[in-house]
Structure 1
Amino acid sequence: MVRSIFLRGFDQDMANKVGDYMEDHGIKFIKKYVPKKIEQIKKGTPGLLKVTAHATEGSEIFQGEYNTVLLAIGRDACTRKIGLEKVGVKINEKTGKIPVNDVEQTNVPYIYAIGDVLEGKLELTPLAIQAGRLLAQRLYGGSKKKCDYVNVPTTVFTPMEYGACGYSEEKAIEKYGVKNIEVYHSYFWPLEWTVPSRDNNRCYAKVICLIPEKQRVIGFHVLGPNAGEVTQGFAAAIKCGMTKDLLDSTIGIHPVCAEVCMRLAKMLSTFFPLVYLLVLM
């Protein structure tokens, strides 16, 4: 059951491809509904549960019976009862998250916050560890290095892995404008899938480049086997300022999944297919 969209906060082109792949492999999604009531109608193992859900758009009601119900409801920041108000630290009253500046400083200059409680930051353990280390080095070691909250490699371990680093296409357009963004992409077929003829052209990779900065890669996204392993290496290259030209001039290792990233093609705008159809007519 999906309340609104797949993988909120991630690139929605990639998120929808993840959803399509899962649907094609037997997962049924009930979209734009939220559960309102769960009733036990039969005891035992596995037993039977009745779920009643309401549509998020409209007044429709959905009911279904299942052996097992798993609630993936997310998490809240438990900051409301730890005495922050006594020292004047402001929080987002709706989410409990703590706003900070670019050095993790709260509105109270001598109080800092790191990790999952930060407002607008990714909730990832390795990121929190890195932020803590850098904060300690700034406070006690004379360092000025800040934590990079943009070029953070991460992986969603869906049935077909999704790895990402940097901006989503939506965020890149929001920050830099559509005219300053170029997207390159390609589908690919992993070698280990070719013999059984499994899922041709379902794996996918794309990079988002910033045109005014010599096509610097500001977003990397890959959907396929071992996407996390692939993403980790490219994350280092992105932090080094990798451009599309450097990517294209790198020799790919054949036959591995990451090879596709050295031959990504420009994504056509929606205008081009229209012109093509008119010519055919």
Structure 2
Amino acid sequence: MAVVVLRGPRGHFRWRVPTCTRGVRGAASPAGGQQDFDLLVIGGGSGGLACAKEAAQLGKKVAVTDYVEPSPQGTRWGLGGTCVNVGCIPKKLMHQAALLGDMIRDAHHYGWEVAQPVQHDWNKMAEAVQNHVKSLNWGHRVQLQDRKVKYFNIKASFVDKHTVCGVTKSGKETLLSADHIVIATGGRPKYPTHIEGASEYGITSDDIFWLKESPGKTSKPATADVALECAGFLTGIGLDTTVMMRSIPLRGFDQQMSSLVTEHMESHGTRFLKGCVPSRIEKLPAGQLQVTWDDHASGKEGTGIFDTVLWAIGRVPETRNLNLEKAGVNTNPKNQKILVDAQEATSVPHIFAIGDVAEGRPELTPTAIMAGKLLAQRLYGKSSALMDYSNVPTTVFTPLEYGCVGLSEEEAVTVHGQEHVEVYHAYYKPLEFTVAERDASQCYIKMVCLREPPQLVLGLHFLGPNAGEVIQGFALGIKCGASYTQVMQTVGIHPTCSEEVVKLRISKRSGLDPTVTGC
């Protein structure tokens, strides 16, 4: 669990769309009657839009419903889902802002005379990022229109297995029916329900990217990727940032790599309170927030004063208001995610679920997009190709980026046994770090392989600059079944960080020093 505290003007309200009162069998129909489609997609995020556009390209009559309920702090946004509005896109842009700060500090080593001190303007950055996001919102609307996909800005819920009722902000109801329905409603950040003042005074990733004013001194209870990413760019632009970490960082990722990520962040200014769990938040007369936490290591209570508290403790699927029971769609009772099979089908054969809302699927934009396209092709393009969720690459955009594909070392050992796994690794120094005399202590690569020749690559983990760009290419090789032998036969591009991957010669088993000392 992590909390980030930030300062920024915000209201405290939550507007709710009225539930459908008509459209049930035996009741009067909404004005205008019912509209029928071949495909109805509920949710205008990356996966839903990809599915809708692909089906329309295949000649089908398609509709998309999308509605963003404001966050508890009143933040709302346009078409495009989490990634476009409150996820990947604004996060990467703010990460870039922080990286630019590092580059400016490096510049004088390369002969540039930069006036000091260099100041960062949150308002200017936020305006630029938000304007770009708004342009993407508009672009999605145009793309749907160009493909003749009907867009409804309504909050939809099921009436029966083939029909949904949508309600606009003003309360107007619309009935939509379709032969096939795809649920792609994604998820929203969790608020802790047991912590006093959490929802009243805290914000989440739904809010941070839309703040007009700098969040100031921030407390972040969390250890998920979004928590560390936000903490990283906040520290990078000069804000005092504290992460409360109850247990391990980056759960689900390779833990050696995760520890190196937090070590780098800590050495570059982010404060970590390990083993600490917030218990209450109080607003002080001056407007700042006092956070109280329990320190499990010492058994004592701690307090701190912050401008903003940012919750990053996970996400919940947007399923609770869909009236799934009326359609007979089954969910996991523990997390409310929709149960699906390999075809993305739910317990109702003509109703499907893709993306973050589906049980057992990675919460990643590219997987949702590909799953949506393949689903439309199976339904209307006479294709039988299924989405392959194995060896999906991803990157955590912390100050020192962490990219990975395939199994972690822990997973490989669990699946194959320690005696059947070989791990090759190296600590390296990017050339860009040398002249600027940057610390490269945590720049590290490891390749997890089967021990038996030709040593199939099970996973690749890279910590360093441009990790996503490095991992993307190697992901293709691993997807195609690359072996360690084949990787070692690949010629590197010099001088790059990527070439260090094809130079991995030291195994953990050997006990030799894995520090790269030259070409």
Q: Normalization by structure 2: what TM-score? A: 0.49
- Output the CA distance in 2 between the equivalents of 1:129 and 1:135: 10
Matches for 1:4-15 after TM superposition, within 5 Å:
4-15=247-258
Q: CA distance change for structure 1 residues 52 and 90 in 2, over 3 Å: closer, same or farther?
A: same
Matches for 1:201-212 after TM superposition, within 5 Å:
201-211=441-451
The one of 364, 385, 401 equivalent to 1:124 is: 364
One-letter amino acid of the counterpart of residue 267, structure 1: S
Q: CA deviation at 1:182?
A: 1.6
- Output the CA distance in 2 between the equivalents of 1:267 and 1:55: 38
- 2:345 alignment counterpart: 105
**Aligned 8 A contact 1:150 1:167 in 2:** no
Q: Which has the higher relative contact order, 1 or 2, with Cα contacts under 8 A spaced 6 or more apart?
A: 2
- 1:278 alignment counterpart: none
Q: CA distance change for structure 1 residues 268 and 213 in 2, over 3 Å: closer, same or farther?
A: closer
Q: CA distance change for structure 1 residues 130 and 56 in 2, over 3 Å: closer, same or farther?
A: farther
Matches for 1:162-177 after TM superposition, within 5 Å:
162-177=402-417
**Aligned 8 A contact 1:53 1:62 in 2:** yes
Deviates most, 166-175 or 111-120: 166-175
Give CA-to-partner distance per residue, 1:27-75, whole Å, 9 cap, x none: 11011222121112242xxx53210112457853221122332222332
1:180 is the counterpart of 2:420: yes
Deviant stretches of 4+, over 6 Å: none
The one of 361, 366, 375 equivalent to 1:135 is: 375
- Output the CA distance in 2 between the equivalents of 1:196 and 1:83: 58
**Aligned 8 A contact 2:425 2:508 in 1:** no
- Output the CA distance in 2 between the equivalents of 1:243 and 1:36: 49
The one of 415, 430, 434 equivalent to 1:190 is: 430
- 1:261 alignment counterpart: 501
Give CA-to-partner distance per residue, 1:224-280, whole Å, 9 cap, x none: 0111111111111111211111110111111100010011134324x969xxxxxxx
- Output the CA distance in 2 between the equivalents of 1:212 and 1:90: 43
1:3 is the counterpart of 2:246: yes
Q: Identity over aligned residues, as a percent?
A: 52
One-letter amino acid of the counterpart of residue 424, structure 2: Y
One-letter amino acid of the counterpart of residue 134, structure 1: L
Q: CA deviation at 1:178?
A: 2.5
- 2:484 alignment counterpart: 244
SS of the residue corresponding to residue 19 of structure 1 reads: helix
SS of the residue corresponding to residue 254 of structure 1 reads: coil
The one of 14, 18, 41 equivalent to 2:284 is: 41
- Output the CA distance in 2 between the equivalents of 1:98 and 1:56: 35
- 1:60 alignment counterpart: 300
1:232 is the counterpart of 2:472: yes
- 2:270 alignment counterpart: 27
**Aligned 8 A contact 1:163 1:231 in 2:** yes
Aligned length: 269
- 1:223 alignment counterpart: 463
SS of the residue corresponding to residue 405 of structure 2 reads: strand
SS of the residue corresponding to residue 158 of structure 1 reads: coil
- Output the CA distance in 1 between the equivalents of 2:415 and 2:341: 18
The one of 398, 408, 429 equivalent to 1:158 is: 398
1:81 is the counterpart of 2:321: yes
One-letter amino acid of the counterpart of residue 253, structure 1: I
Q: CA deviation at 1:205?
A: 0.8
- Output the CA distance in 2 between the equivalents of 1:174 and 1:162: 22
Deviates most, 211-220 or 109-118: 211-220
**Aligned 8 A contact 1:222 1:231 in 2:** yes
One-letter amino acid of the counterpart of residue 68, structure 1: T
Give CA-to-partner distance per residue, 1:147-193, whole Å, 9 cap, x none: 12121111111010111111222222223332332211111100010
Q: What are structure 1's unaligned runs of at least 5 residues?
A: 274-281
Q: What are structure 2's unaligned runs of at least 5 residues?
A: 1-243, 513-519
Q: CA distance change for structure 1 residues 172 and 142 in 2, over 3 Å: closer, same or farther?
A: farther
**Structure with bigger gyration radius:** 2
**What is the alpha-carbon root mean square deviation over aligned residues?**
2.1
Q: CA deviation at 1:86?
A: 2.2
- 1:279 alignment counterpart: none
- Output the CA distance in 1 between the equivalents of 2:296 and 2:469: 37
Q: CA distance change for structure 1 residues 254 and 70 in 2, over 3 Å: closer, same or farther?
A: same
Q: Normalization by structure 1: what TM-score? A: 0.88
- Output the CA distance in 2 between the equivalents of 1:105 and 1:211: 38
Q: CA distance change for structure 1 residues 180 and 145 in 2, over 3 Å: closer, same or farther?
A: farther
- 2:261 alignment counterpart: 18
Q: CA deviation at 1:98?
A: 1.9
- 2:290 alignment counterpart: 50
Give CA-to-partner distance per residue, 1:129-148, whole Å, 9 cap, x none: 10111111122222222212
Q: CA distance change for structure 1 residues 143 and 266 in 2, over 3 Å: closer, same or farther?
A: farther
